[in-house]
Structure 1
């Protein structure tokens, strides 16, 4: 018997649904603060540990800078922060927009590819307040801001401009301040301080983290299970100063230090996001990433935490702001149940790499003039990819000092920390130190044995490779690009020197 059909068309299988993407960025959280990363951690981060158990935990992940603003620039642009006009330090709450209006962000890229995009939390990349050119005291908070996140690829934004300790303390929804500030607040207590400045009645420092969480969960609930996938960039203001755990978390860490309590509050935020995904039934096809913008700040009180046996920097030297590993090596966890099996990866990863990885997931080619320093880590998640893996990385400290890592060796092109730990850039001890440092991280993860005199050929090779990355305007394959602003690099004066010794 022959079976046949008349006038029927064979249905094609539906293309796989694009995954939702959520990127949670903690602020000043140390590698050693996460119990799944630090076997000796005295802070038990159960929700982040669950995320790690269900996803891939990266052990060699780094921020592009050891401080806030530059790292955020790198995440959103896929470009090293020092290629922007900001060559060192960070912006403040009154700063103008750092991301050029013509630069494609990951939000804009995903929006072009069918995503609804949202940014909720600490921006710290500047925007243009109304009348700010007349001075900070002349800002018209009744007017919309310009060059806001919604002009940089986000369909929706809710947040504030600087860190939680930087005035003005005003919420912005899309481009409009939610209230005009009518008072000034300041706090000077240890660990809970913030600078004096205009404050809106609806901006309560202690409730900022819960409010951001509420807004994010609301966005997830409203956009779950729609035909259009979503991307959420969730930059938290914690556990950065002011360190303000709510009453529920006070004393919960048992460390007699509110920093530990605030870390547990951050962990709870991750749990709330995971809970929302589960309740909406969309966890399976959501890529959820958790990391930090740099190492732990010394505001956590390292000395006091040491009396309890806890080290936020784990086995690494230094902390936030430093060129040493403690300044930029961070926890980095990625979960995608639909595609990724749980595991651990020692693949070298930079926070600039989210852009290329998202493009790889969508099988979309990244153009030459954006994401110049972004490599896909999709293959490290066990998902098929034909794109090259990251083999080297450029580190950057708060004062603009550079380091270059490739394989087991890390070359540091300054004599000290380049940041806040000893020896600081202006310490007297700097005068007696070699101008450069070279460490074999496979044998000396604590960066104690400087090999610059023993292996000058490696230092020379790394200087040349770094010089090329800087001058080419990119570290990935593609057409050469221009860096923004001045092409003067005080920390790389050897690039133009005829003597390399």
Structure 2
């Protein structure tokens, strides 16, 4: 009797705790610029994103939101660790074929924190943060793969990676992935344009890749599951996400779903129902991406948990060039680079200013806008604040609490650390209000309020501001963090151009 009573009281206590904690759904589109959302860009013309647009009047839209980098891997690292990726061993570019795990074991990740707070954590989608693939003896088959190794760079690397792939026993469970960094569940792909071309569920490739990818199929050469079709990936992500949400909504625990989509990144592979719906396959893929967002929203509503769910829609970086497709779109009245200069991989705003829409019914003012400069890294500290928890001093060192902005308590965070931008070549920029200091071989300063397309360098007019911003970046580097707290270590030296170090010796490490 007493066991039954205690069990009932325990269940009621868990249910009460869960009711106080909102569910969190974090949708990360892949290579989708701020200007790829029709509700944010009147120059989208006939290309529409109705499901994302519908969120805008229900949410807060951040007009100056930034991914942690202008490319994939570093941004994902920042979201899950609350730490800029340039502090890790990866100082530029992304992880390539069979890359080793990037997230350090000693770091407490965002999903690990949520697990401690009683959340069920799920990931459905693209990882691209490295995995340890095993050989027949259970050893790491890719232990000697360097971050710079990629099959397309030269014949020697191609041979090396082919040998690594040949040594992998795909029946062995992978390590170093989502389940080792805070996720209870993972279903998805490492990434869609590199091997192995198969689905991974938790730790296992399923189905096993037993064939070679056809040469006419997009992507790096490598092994593939029989019958693998690129156009099946995105629909499956949508369907599995909806199912997972409905399953978790029946449980007593709150849930966190991280949904890193594979679209509209290459391979441009809209499924059959979406092919030919717009001007180009890329536009079709944007439309299908929007439809998946709608599918997730519908699942939340049908499960009856929409009102107690923080829904975040954003992207990992700006749009890529797609070999002339964007020019063809523009000729047809569709401009997905309307507001800002540049594109994916670049330090210009078009590389890392992303759509950022946050819905939290009853907590976030519907139809509101925020002009504060923010970063996707910030959601780690924000979640800790809304749960009333203090993070360890070594966690989320580049993450700032945005809760006062979301609740409308404040319009700006006067004392927040400055936001740092980073690109594929390892180049830096740093923001202070409308001012943006860019550290290329040539130092540039822009006033984005007056000049959002970065056309006029005003560094000569504001030498003191240039010096101040370079000094702030130097402090962040030397302290190993941008937030207050004990000094932390970066992994290795950040390679600034010689011309930058000559002008700003304080950046030397």
Asked whether the two chains share a fold, i.e. TM above 0.5, the reply is yes
> Equivalent residue for 1:395?
421
Hey, what's the Cα distance between the residues in 1 that align with 2:488 and 2:84?
A: 12
Aligned positions of 1:279-318 closer than 5 A: 279-299=302-322, 301-318=325-342
Deviations 1:113-137 (A, max 9, x none): 0000011110000010112246122
Deviations 1:381-433 (A, max 9, x none): 12558997635210001000001111111000004xxxxxxxxxxxxxxxxxx
RMSD: 2.3
> Equivalent residue for 1:181?
209
Hey, what's the Cα distance between the residues in 2 that align with 1:187 and 1:304?
A: 26
Bigger shift: residues 150-159 or 341-350:
341-350
> Equivalent residue for 2:8?
none
User: 414, 422, 426: which one pairs with 2:440?
Assistant: 414
**Aligned CA distance change for structure 1 residues 479 and 388 (closer, same or farther; 3 Å):** farther
> Equivalent residue for 1:423?
none
> Equivalent residue for 1:334?
358
TM-score, structure 2 length as denominator?
Answer: 0.87
User: 473, 476, 484: which one pairs with 1:469?
Assistant: 476
Residue 140 (str. 1) matches residue 165 (str. 2): no
> Equivalent residue for 2:105?
101
Aligned residues: 465
Q: Secondary structure at the match of 1:117?
A: strand
Point out where structure 2 has 5 or more consecutive residues left out of the alignment: 1-11, 136-140, 143-162
Residue 354 (str. 1) matches residue 379 (str. 2): yes
Tell me, yes or no, if the aligned pair for 1:294 and 1:328 is still in contact at 8 Å. yes
Deviation of 1:488 (Å) = 4.0
Residue 84 (str. 1) matches residue 112 (str. 2): no
Aligned positions of 1:144-293 closer than 5 A: 144-162=173-191, 164-186=192-214, 188=216, 193-201=218-226, 203-253=228-278, 256-293=279-316
**Aligned CA distance change for structure 1 residues 153 and 492 (closer, same or farther; 3 Å):** farther
Residue 490 (str. 1) matches residue 496 (str. 2): yes
Hey, what's the Cα distance between the residues in 2 that align with 1:242 and 1:369?
A: 37
Greater fraction of residues in helix? 2
Deviation of 1:205 (Å) = 1.0
TM-score, structure 1 length as denominator?
Answer: 0.88
Point out where structure 1 has 5 or more consecutive residues left out of the alignment: 1-10, 416-434
> Equivalent residue for 1:379?
404
User: 469, 487, 493: which one pairs with 1:480?
Assistant: 487
Tell me, yes or no, if the aligned pair for 2:440 and 2:500 is still in contact at 8 Å. no
> Equivalent residue for 1:25?
28
Hey, what's the Cα distance between the residues in 2 that align with 1:345 and 1:497?
A: 35
Deviations 1:420-478 (A, max 9, x none): xxxxxxxxxxxxxxx11110111111100011222222111111111111111110111
Tell me, yes or no, if the aligned pair for 1:348 and 1:391 is still in contact at 8 Å. no
Bigger shift: residues 221-230 or 79-88:
221-230
Hey, what's the Cα distance between the residues in 1 that align with 2:417 and 2:486?
A: 19
> Equivalent residue for 2:159?
none
Tell me, yes or no, if the aligned pair for 2:340 and 2:350 is still in contact at 8 Å. yes
Deviation of 1:186 (Å) = 3.8
Bigger shift: residues 296-305 or 19-28:
296-305
Deviations 1:199-224 (A, max 9, x none): 11264211001111111111111110
Deviation of 1:88 (Å) = 0.3
Tell me, yes or no, if the aligned pair for 1:249 and 1:261 is still in contact at 8 Å. yes
Tell me, yes or no, if the aligned pair for 2:439 and 2:500 is still in contact at 8 Å. no
> Equivalent residue for 2:40?
37
Tell me, yes or no, if the aligned pair for 1:78 and 1:352 is still in contact at 8 Å. yes
Deviation of 1:243 (Å) = 0.5
> Equivalent residue for 1:421?
none
**Aligned CA distance change for structure 1 residues 384 and 129 (closer, same or farther; 3 Å):** same
Deviation of 1:309 (Å) = 2.2
Bigger shift: residues 234-243 or 343-352:
343-352
